Structure 1
């Protein structure tokens, strides 16, 4: 079993292959909340600039410098160090589509500036944003959402970039590095560099490995996309499993709701055959609940927080 790979190279809404690609993207998102996009979004030189130069240099800084990367947003956080049981670390760049945010992040590590690092990240983000818009448009349009509703939806979004590094594990510690979870976001575009690790869970409970192919990017749905699509698109359950003794770098480009945003299912996706599944959700309140003691005890925190028919099922 494999997650469907859809070729999006050179496509736009006027292209002859747009309709068939849109149908394939929508079907993949409905089935697993995940699609693998074959694309020319990131060229080999841009990948090398980020994964082989910028990121190794970034993660070589001492811990006290890394810890200056902080965030007031509970959904994003800042620097994540090697926590108990998790052999990885990562940085977060909030509001990353604004070049000034990238420069502010860079100044933590290079007070005198690092134009090469900033240019690399800004170019990376610009290209990923185009892909995210394409997959988002295909998914929502494929479900029958009007163009004006899609445009309105985009006004609620902001984006972040998480740069992650997984150390070379001891043989005895090889296994699941990051446990199964969904993301409290709309979508996340995941770029793996050469080393495998990402796995998504199919509806039958089996795990599907996503190969780290250089011409592909994986887009997964988060909890918030489930809300706005009225449950049509499931949040993708995924994990990271260390299957080799090589260090691993990956990048996550995430679309999240702006602070204070209130979300609810799109009008076009609520009808007699698809009754309302979620009450309006304040995104910042949901994130607080999800990571609270109460939220961590239930198997489906989204359903418990705003579901019309709450499950209340516990993980204990």
Structure 2
């Protein structure tokens, strides 16, 4: 395995920018325009008034902390391999070719059958991390992701506003849920610099800072946690399907020296055999040709897991 050590952030350039927060309760056409603008400029934004009930979020976060409180020997029993992705529990590595850092995670396939199977084995309290808790959260964030993707299509002027959502609400969707747990660790270290290969990511974290995004090489922007918001970032596939109009944002984690941080990410992905290509409406006078050749998610996924974390994958598929 090729690994990279965590980096100290003491000498790096950290800047403060007011990242977009979009109120989904506002007028729909306005919201669609704001989402498109944020996706073009940052590849990232927060959404509030998302209508996901607080008890669904609280139950999921409680389930995650309950799991990570288990003895290491018990958590380690939940590691397994699936299609080049290590599902279940992992510690101090991100993927097979990723950074080494102080993080432990629980990665779940988004399918109902996988969630049902694993949910019966990973809680100290059988009433906590049960199928209903995880599946309720998965259903809620998938619905929110579909709403956001439809707003993106509307804002882009694509007549078929379900063109992106059909990928992630497909019965064979390859979507994932991931818990990341970062224990307190002095001094602050940064690791995991990458972009997400999927279509869209919805992220929720406890009120502890640690996420940073990069708009250009060497310039990092902290994302302050907002208990009312979900963070949304554009993935590689969405950059391809918008013909480069949207930006797949690079991001990383920074450890906190005093408090543990836990985040829960939903990665919306298509079926493995889905063909990824920009629709005709994305070919414009500003972008008169397709920037990327057509490929399947299986092809891109294979390329993703054959490279070291942080390497540029999307350029492999440029025309």
Choose the corresponding residue for 1:289, options 294, 300, 303.
303
What is the TM-score with the length of structure 1 in the denominator? Answer: 0.83
Aligned ranges for residues 241-256 of structure 1 at < 5 Å? 241-256=254-269
Structure 2: gaps (5+ residues): 1-16, 94-98
Q: Distance in 1 between matches of 2:52 and 2:268?
A: 18
The RMSD of aligned alpha carbons is 2.6
| Residue-by-residue CA offset, 1:150-193 (whole Å, 9 max, x unaligned) | 45445474421101111111x23x221x3321011111100011
2:72 equivalent in structure 1: 63
Which moved further from structure 2: 55-64 or 106-115?
A: 106-115
1:90 aligns with 105
Aligned pairs for 1:72-87 (under 5 A) are 72-74=82-84, 77-83=87-93, 85-87=100-102
Q: C-alpha displacement at 1:81, in angstroms?
A: 1.1
Pair 1:32-2:42 in alignment: yes
Secondary structure (helix, strand or coil) at the match of 1:286 reads: helix
Give 5+ residue unaligned stretches, structure 1: 12-16, 309-316
After TM superposition, the structure 1 = structure 2 runs for residues 140-289 of structure 1, keeping only pairs within 5 Å, are 140-147=153-160, 149-150=163-164, 152-154=166-168, 155=170, 157-169=173-185, 171-172=186-187, 174-176=188-190, 178-203=191-216, 206-274=219-287, 275-289=289-303
Kept after mapping to 2: 8 A contact 1:95/1:160? yes
CA distance in 1, matches of 2:55, 2:71: 28
Of 217-226 and 198-207, deviating more is: 198-207
Distance in 2 between residues matched to 1:112 and 1:21, nearest whole Å: 41
Counterpart in 2 of 1:301?
313
The alpha-carbon deviation at position 203 of structure 1 amounts to 4.2
User: Judging changes above 3 Å, is the alpha-carbon distance between structure 1 residues 210 and 299 closer, same or farther for their aligned structure 2 residues?
Assistant: same
Q: How far does residue 76 in structure 1 lie from its aligned partner after superposition? A: 6.4
Shift of 1:2: 1.9
What is the total number of aligned residue pairs between the two structures? 293
3-state SS, counterpart of residue 130 of structure 1: helix
Q: Is the 8 A contact 2:105 2:180 kept in 1?
A: yes
TM-score, normalised to structure 2, is 0.82
The structure that is helix-richer by fraction is 1
Preserved contact between residue 194 and residue 310 of structure 2 (Cα < 8 Å): no
Contact 1:231 1:277 in 2 (8 A): yes
The answer to whether the 8 Å contact 1:69/1:108 transfers is: no
